[in-house]
Structure 1
Amino acid sequence: MTGRLQFNLATMLTFGAFSALVLNAMFGPRAALVFMACGALLIVSNMPQSIDSVKRWWPILLLPAWCLLTALWSLYPSNSIRYSIQLGFTVVVAMVMTGRVSTTTLMRLMFVVYGIGVVASIAFGRTGSFGAWLGVFGSKNAFAAHIAVFMLIAMAITADRHSHLLVRLCGVIGFGVSVPMLILAQSAGAIMMVAPCVGIIVLTILIVRLTGPQKLFLFALLGLGLAALALLFATMGNVLLADILEGSGKDATLTGRTDLWTIGLNYIAERPLQGLGYRSFWVVGFAPAEELWAMFLVPSGAGFNFHNTYISNAVEIGMIGLGLQVIIIYGGALTMAAYTIARPNAPNALLLSLQVLMILRSFIEVEVFFEFSIRSIMGVATLIYGAQGLLALRRNAPRPARPRPRGLLSHVRVPVRPRSHTHAHLQAP
């Protein structure tokens, strides 16, 4: 009974924390407070298990620890210290959550949380200056990102064989609603990026009935296809991207992103290993940041970035910190991919598709790693869920029987002498 109450409490606290982060446009300034309150209660509600989760996955804390260390050379050390501590708290919440909430429960509560945002956008949404639908969010990009994630969640709910028929029907409705809403957001990038993620969920559904050799053959073909695609983009990526953008009516420079990338690379070259300090570039009063805000007609302090995860984060925490982030991002994708192949189900497919979506968006947006960030939490959680699953499979795998050790004389037969009839006669009474 106690375990059941703790499970329900953990689910409710996770729901509250996720609601604050996903629906921050509706919560406003109280979003961070609600998240911290729910996260702290989640940690202290079962301290032994929380401590065990942190001890088990402590290497992930090297990232916030490095961010905190950058305060030693940061341009704004107080910013680096404060935001590093908040990032550390966010990571700990993600670590504790993975030990208290199952992937199936997480998928269902995310469907409810993101569904609230979708319903609110339909009921109270508005249109932006260029005709794009903004919903209840501040920009079309934020709205498109929310709808893209909800589309994947709804599809996973629909494909989940263990969910109630009514829940799966809600998933069908949610997926059907998300398609036109994504079109209304007028985000060609979101549409192109969500397509392969939908393919991951479809592929997971199909491989459920395949045998081991058939799975291996299928994924070998996919690996060859991805390698060929990567080679194509490496050699003709710029030309293809320009053609795609021109065909969709978008700016070939990605609305000035390429100019930002050049500027960011110049700052990385100045301090390639250690960076300028965590959260120490986009600061009001810092001349280079003020210049970029003015150049792109953005109000000072509006939360601008270099629109590339690797460039933006390397500017502040250097290649060392970026390397730790890459391990979490791509390590999470690889471990969850391996676990999904071994145990193909809807929750695993969802986590893998969301991680792939984050990777695709990382080249034009900056979503990780920040304090009070739902994407940062999911990035860490995916790595842990995947690793936990693989470790469980390894523990439960049947071990082959050990052959009994044989000595040098194991094949030597000792002859048994038959009793002599004479001897037996002499001993007889």
Structure 2
Amino acid sequence: MTELPDRLTFNLATVLTFGAFAALVLNAMFGPLAALTFMVCGLLLIVSNPHQSLDSLRRWWFVLLLPAYCMLTALWSQYPSNSLRYGVQLMFTAVVAVIITGRLSTATLMRMMFIVYGIGVLASILVGKTGAGGAWLGVFGSKNAFAAHIAVFVLIAVAVAADRNSHWVLRLAGIAGALASGPLLILAQSAGATLMVVPCLGIILLTLLTTRLPGTQKLFVLVMLGIVAAALVLLVIVAGDTLLAEVLEGSGKDPTLTGRTDLWATGLSYIAERPLQGLGYRSFWVVGFAPAEELWAMFDVPAGAGFNFHNTYISNAVEIGLIGLSMQIVLIYGGAILMAAYTFARPNAANALLLALQVLMILRSFIEVEVFFEFSIRSIMGIATFIYAAAGLLALRRQVAHTQRQTPKGLMSHARIPARPRSYPHANL
């Protein structure tokens, strides 16, 4: 009697999450209905199991401090109605992200995302179009949006193809998707997306390789990767600008990233004026605000077209200051660190994918703005990755603690069976 409702609830959660993700990922196809579809599916997901929803929100309430702070900026924002309205929408998006982590396992989420992103790829192949510069746009509004979609899809496809627990049909589809992604990335003419996806693919492949290694060899691989990562960070700090300019020139791109360096300089000047609290959430790129109008005119962009500073840290610090930016950094980099630790302890395709996607977010954060704002799939995944990793590590810690407390009392005694840790979908992977 108790198993059937649970199974029905789990399936319902998967269907509703699929609808919510499809609306956001394929927003170019949904059009104005994308936000409405997401809100309806998200609301139904919350109320379909109120007890589980409240439990998830109670456990992970602190991730909601970021949207709460964004709402708070309405007190000093130059456009308070904007800050409050978009802050409320970001809060709803974050709540949905928290609820998803309590209802779906990471494996289910991975397979569902493969289908959602695969629909976008198939539609782009069948009815896609080419932009003015010859770059393939697919069914998306720009080549950057199409390239970002393909970059995420290739990571999901490789993870699904390598997942031993997935059905063989799904794994074959993953192989086909991974093979098709290469030519599509070339058609998108995005050197940045191509360069960034390579190390993320390496993370997935190395993670799956470590499943065949004993503990000492896994630790050795981890140490070597840490050394390589530290060397790359040092190289970027010392000669990053020179290397980036050479790569861009070699690929025929503008070394100034199509004027983004000028944008960054402008953004830094506004951060210097109000470093801690910022101008207010979503209160810079507003029609009628003179500095925004000047930048729109300078870059020949229609007013109100959703322009940004093309750097997550600069763009968000302008609006929510260093206080809000610090909260975002905790979620972004904390999620990557926690997921790296959890993936090392429990290496599997789903965990490797979440880690790779988080690293991709970090790499793109220096030239794009993907988080944190309302109705954003990347914002949802950033929050979800942090929670999945933290919950997984807590579950492992409880298991170790129970094991250590087992003390046999003699040959005829029975070892005490450890209590089953609190059930969390992904902890069973």
Q: Which amino acid aligns with 2:302?
A: P
TM-fit CA distance, 1:401: 5.6
Q: Which amino acid aligns with 1:268?
A: I
TM-fit CA distance, 1:258: 0.4
Aligned residue among 386, 390, 394 for 2:389 = 386
Question: 5 Å matches for 1:56-135?
Answer: 56-135=59-138
Match in the other structure for 2:404? 399
TM-fit CA distance, 1:142: 0.1
- Deviations 1:103-130 (Å, cap 9, x if unpaired)? 0110011011000000100111000011
Match in the other structure for 1:182? 185
Question: In structure 2, the residue corresponding to 1:134 is in which secondary structure?
Answer: strand
Match in the other structure for 2:310? 307
Question: 5 Å matches for 1:114-263?
Answer: 114-263=117-266
Q: Quick one: distance in 2 between partners of 1:95 and 1:340?
A: 20
Q: Quick one: distance in 2 between partners of 1:306 and 1:268?
A: 12
Q: Which runs of 4+ in 1 moved over 2 A?
A: 400-404
Match in the other structure for 2:425? none
Q: Quick one: distance in 2 between partners of 1:373 and 1:26?
A: 15
- Which runs of 5 or more structure 1 residues have no equivalent in the other structure? 405-429
- Deviations 1:275-300 (Å, cap 9, x if unpaired)? 00000000000000000000000000
Match in the other structure for 1:369? 372
Q: Which amino acid aligns with 1:393?
A: L
- Deviations 1:361-412 (Å, cap 9, x if unpaired)? 00000000000000000000000000111011111122166799xxxxxxxx
- Deviations 1:19-78 (Å, cap 9, x if unpaired)? 000000000000000000000000000001100100100001110111011101101000
Q: Quick one: distance in 1 between partners of 2:408 and 2:275?
A: 55
Question: In structure 1, the residue corresponding to 2:404 is in which secondary structure?
Answer: coil
Match in the other structure for 1:293? 296
Aligned residue among 21, 25, 29 for 2:28 = 25
Q: Which amino acid aligns with 1:280?
A: S
TM-score between both structures, scaled by the size of structure 1: 0.93
Q: Quick one: distance in 2 between partners of 1:116 and 1:5?
A: 25
- RMSD of aligned residue pairs (Cα, Å): 1.0
Question: In structure 1, the residue corresponding to 2:371 is in which secondary structure?
Answer: coil
Counting matched residue pairs gives 404
Q: Quick one: distance in 2 between partners of 1:304 and 1:78?
A: 20
- Deviations 1:173-200 (Å, cap 9, x if unpaired)? 1111111001100000000000000000
Question: In structure 1, the residue corresponding to 2:137 is in which secondary structure?
Answer: strand
Match in the other structure for 1:340? 343
- Deviations 1:75-107 (Å, cap 9, x if unpaired)? 100000000000000000000000001101100
- Deviations 1:256-278 (Å, cap 9, x if unpaired)? 00000000000000000000000
TM-fit CA distance, 1:337: 0.6
Q: Which amino acid aligns with 2:235?
A: L
Q: Quick one: distance in 2 between partners of 1:228 and 1:184?
A: 32
Q: Which amino acid aligns with 1:312?
A: S
Relative to structure 1, the CA distance from residue 174 to residue 403 in structure 2 (aligned partners, 3 Å threshold; closer, same or farther) is closer
Q: Quick one: distance in 2 between partners of 1:82 and 1:261?
A: 27
TM-score between both structures, scaled by the size of structure 2: 0.93
- Deviations 1:309-354 (Å, cap 9, x if unpaired)? 0000000000000000000000110111111000100000110000
Q: Quick one: distance in 2 between partners of 1:227 and 1:335?
A: 18
Match in the other structure for 1:414? none
TM-fit CA distance, 1:15: 0.2
Q: Quick one: distance in 2 between partners of 1:401 and 1:95?
A: 34
Q: Which of the pair has more CA radius of gyration? A: 1
Question: In structure 2, the residue corresponding to 1:384 is in which secondary structure?
Answer: helix
Q: Which amino acid aligns with 1:290?
A: E
- Which runs of 5 or more structure 2 residues have no equivalent in the other structure? 410-429
Aligned residue among 259, 274, 279 for 1:276 = 279
TM-fit CA distance, 1:247: 0.7
Q: Which amino acid aligns with 1:24?
A: N
Aligned residue among 358, 363, 377 for 1:360 = 363
